[in-house]
Amino acid sequence: MPDTLHVFALHWGLTALSMWLVSLLVHGIRFDGLLSLVAAAGLLGFVNACVRPLLILLTLPLTVLSFGAFLLVINALMLQFVSSLVRGFTVRGFWTAVVASVLMTLVGIFLEALVAGIEPGFGYMEWEWLQATFR
């Protein structure tokens, strides 16, 4: 079983890698350097852990009515919020943020599945937490 810091660093690195890959694919997403990429990935992880759940809770009726499609708007807003806070990271508009957030999700899922096959125990802590939650 990997330690918490190891899993945290791995998630942060995978987020940074997915953000970088998406910036190569989507015109309108730009990083000035490695420092802005790492800072944006770290802040995006923090914002997704702290602010995003609150927004999901507040907009739950709209999310239910849209069959979950409003979550795309929330993800795009989180990406734009991070770009407004991190110097050297730019997102050129709402629709660019929507496309980028969808691609980041898909790339992130692929990278985590790839790492789960290489890194023994990766994802174990999340699975353990999920099991403990629903007992």
Q: Is 118's pLDDT higher than 80?
A: no
Is residue 112 in a domain? Answer: no
Who has greater pLDDT, 23 or 113? 23
Is residue 115 in a domain? Answer: no
Is residue 131 in a domain? Answer: no
pLDDT tens string 14-28: 999 999 999 999 999
Rounded mean pLDDT, 37-51: 92
Is residue 35 in a domain? Answer: yes
Is residue 127 in a domain? Answer: no
Is residue 132 in a domain? Answer: no
Place of tokens 């999920």: 130
> Cα separations (Å) of 22 from 7, 45, 91, 102, 125?
22, 16, 11, 10, 27
Residue type, 116: A
Per-residue confidence (pLDDT) for residue 119, from 0 to 100? 57
Per-residue confidence (pLDDT) for residue 40, from 0 to 100? 95
* Parent domain of 11: 4-107
Q: Band of the pLDDT at 129, cuts 50, 70, 90?
A: low
User: pTM for the whole thing?
Assistant: 0.79
Is residue 123 in a domain? Answer: no
Is residue 89 in a domain? Answer: yes
> Cα separations (Å) of 92 from 5, 9, 103, 110?
33, 28, 16, 25
How many structural domains comprise the chain?
A: 1
Q: Is 72's pLDDT higher than 70?
A: yes
Q: Band of the pLDDT at 31, cuts 50, 70, 90?
A: very high
Q: How many CB atoms lie within 10 A of CB 60?
A: 11
